[in-house]
Amino acid sequence: MSQTIEITYPEQIQKINIANGTNLYAIDLSNFNNLVDLTCTNTTLQKIYGFDGASTLISGIDLKNNQIDTFFNLSNKTNLRYLNLAQNQLIGYIPALSGSPLLRQFFCSRNNLSGPIPQLSSLTNLVEFKCESNQLTGPIPALSGLSFLKVFLCNNNLLTGSIPALSATTNLVYFYCAFNQLTGPLPSLSGLTKLLVFHADNNGFTGSIPVLSSLTNLVEFKCESNQLTGPIPALSGLSNLSIFNCNTNRLSGSIPALSSLTNLTEFLCNTNRLTGSIPALSGLNNLQQFICHTNRLTGSIPALSGLNNLQQFICNVNQLTGPIPSLDGLNNLQQFICSTNQLSGSMPSLSGLTNLQQFICNTNQLSGSIPSLNSLSALQQFICHTNQLTGFAGGSVSNILGQFQAQNNQLTSTPVNAILAAFVAANNTTGVRVLNLGGTNSAPTGQGITDKATLVSRGWTVTTNLI
């Protein structure tokens, strides 16, 4: 049952702080003429009454994570500096904010607000503005004159138009506008030397990626899933850069040098039109993800030794040549995918890669034997079909390895039989179970035929040639 709180002499109250978890329906502020600060978070509060006539002295309002459904008029709250209405159930428009010229922090994230973002240019003291995860429409308003602005978050809305000029926001640290319907070019970021994070992914931006070389504090830059063209700009000198993601655009040219980016953890440039070679990755000891698939890259896969934090290396659907490099010591590696290239030579040893879940190298020109899969306890997919492989190093396979595709190689009956025997011994009887040894390989013989029947009886889909 909701509480009713009676306060004697409300005109003397300057601060209200209602405890988390209070079961509360409404607050009436009609007679709180000297109220300066209102805090009521994580309650069942739904309504604020008498706000228009409440104290004009109020400077801080924290009402996050309640059930409030209606925004209130702020036109006479001339001393307001902080307003937090995030994570409520607000509907309708954000009201005009021009009547609160001292406003520094405004948060209305994760509501059901619609309509435009109001004009902000008169809020010359504004430091943080967050309106992400609503249903806001229209353009991002002009941010000129907001020289104190550090944080601007408007991602996950329905905004249109272009990003306004950011050149005057010289204190900007975080800018998020991802997952909208924005178009036009990305603005110049030159002079924003304090910028740490810029996310503009999943929009309809065109033009080129702006010059980034002066942004020496930049940690994250994301512009994936747009329609950007031109080259990836030089990244040298961005020693703090941790995440760079430009996948799923129309970028061309080569991948820039990365060797100086010693804090880099994620580099994603897949699904573009990039050419040239994969740059040297040596020394990038923090690198966890390198994904460059579905481009037009040539040359060889660079050395990966020493990249002890690497979890994903994905370079399929390119025109790469040469051997797969050594994977020794990459104990955190989970995915290695290099299919649909022109790679040659033998497959590397996978010994010790106890976190490896996927190894996919099909549709190349690899020769020699399938390596031992002993002790690869996390391996779920091993796909090496459409190569020139002739043998199997032998040994056991994991009981969670459910997809093994080695069809269209040159395997004789001996390795085919050994692979069938290994899967019978593993006794995997759950999940997806597909074993393909058909195509241009030899048929199983003797015990191999029996082992195939055993696997089929356990629910496996097994494809081999017939004698």
Residue 416 dihedral angles phi and psi, to the nearest 5°: -60, -45
- Could you tell me what percent of the chain has a pLDDT over 70? 98
CA distances for 300 relative to 72, 98, 277, 318, angstroms: 62, 58, 7, 11
| pLDDT tens, position by position, 368-427 | 999 999 999 999 999 999 999 999 999 999 999 999 999 999 999 999 999 999 999 999
- Report how many domains make up the chain: 1
The pLDDT of residue 9: 75
| Whole-number pLDDT of residue 4 | 54
Q: Which tokens belong to 287?
A: 């690198």
pLDDT at 159: 98
- Average pLDDT of the chain? 95
Predicted pLDDT at 10: 77
- Give the pLDDT band of residue 243 (cuts 50, 70, 90): very high
Rg (CA), the chain: 30
- Residue 8 confidence class, pLDDT cut points 50, 70, 90: low
| Structure tokens that stand for 259 in this block | 């060797």
The domain in which residue 358 lies consists of 318-467
Tell me how far apart the alpha carbons of residues 206 and 196 are, in angstroms, rounded to a whole number.
23
- Residue 158: its pLDDT value, please? 98
Tokens of 104: 């520094």
Work out the average pLDDT over 268-285. 98
CATH number at residue 401: 3.80.10.10
pLDDT of residue 467: 72
pLDDT class of 31 with cuts at 50, 70, 90 = confident
Residue 11 has a pLDDT of 82
Least confident of 20-24, 101-105, 269-273: 20-24
Determine the Cα–Cα distance for residues 365 and 389; give it in Å rounded to an integer: 9
Is the CB of residue 354 less than 8 Å from the CB of residue 331?
Answer: yes
Q: What is the pLDDT of residue 2?
A: 56
What is residue 423's DSSP assignment?
H
What does the pLDDT look like over 244-265, one tens digit per residue? 999 999 999 999 999 999 999 9
Rounded Cα distance between 222 and 182, Å, is: 15
**Inter-residue contact 43 to 63 (CB < 8 Å):** no
Question: What is the per-residue pLDDT across 141-154, written as a single tens digit (0 to 9) for each?
Answer: 999 999 999 999 99
In the prediction, which pLDDT does 127 show?
Answer: 98
Average the pLDDT over each of 18-32, 107-121, 380-394, 417-431 and give the range with the smallest value: 18-32
Biggest alpha carbon–alpha carbon distance for the chain:
97
Average pLDDT over residues 178-186: 98
**pLDDT the model gives residue 7:** 65
Angle at CA 188, nearest 5°, toward 183 and 190?
Answer: 160
- CB neighbours of 112 closer than 8 A, spacing ≥ 6? 89, 90, 91, 134, 135
pLDDT given at position 374: 94
pLDDT of residue 177: 98
> Whole-prediction pTM value?
0.95
pLDDT category at 60 given cuts 50, 70, 90 is very high
Encoded tokens for 285: 């000891």
Q: Is residue 233 part of a domain?
A: no
pLDDT for 50 equals: 87
- With respect to residue 256, please indicate whether it lies within any of the assigned structural domains: no
Q: Are 282 and 259 in contact (CB under 8 A)?
A: yes
pLDDT band at 112 (very low <50, low <70, confident <90, very high): very high
| Percent of the chain whose pLDDT exceeds 90 | 90
Q: What is the mean pLDDT of residues 65-74?
A: 93
Residue 53 banded pLDDT, cuts 50, 70, 90: confident
Any domain includes 346: yes
To which residue do tokens 């980034």 refer?
212
pLDDT reading at 105 higher than 70: yes
CA distance 189 to 194: 11
Length of the chain: 467
Compute the average pLDDT of residues 216-244: 97
DSSP assignment, residue 451? H
Q: What per-residue confidence (pLDDT) applies to 344? A: 98
Query: What dihedral angle (degrees, nearest 10) is formed by the CA atoms of 364, 302, 230, 261?
Result: 150
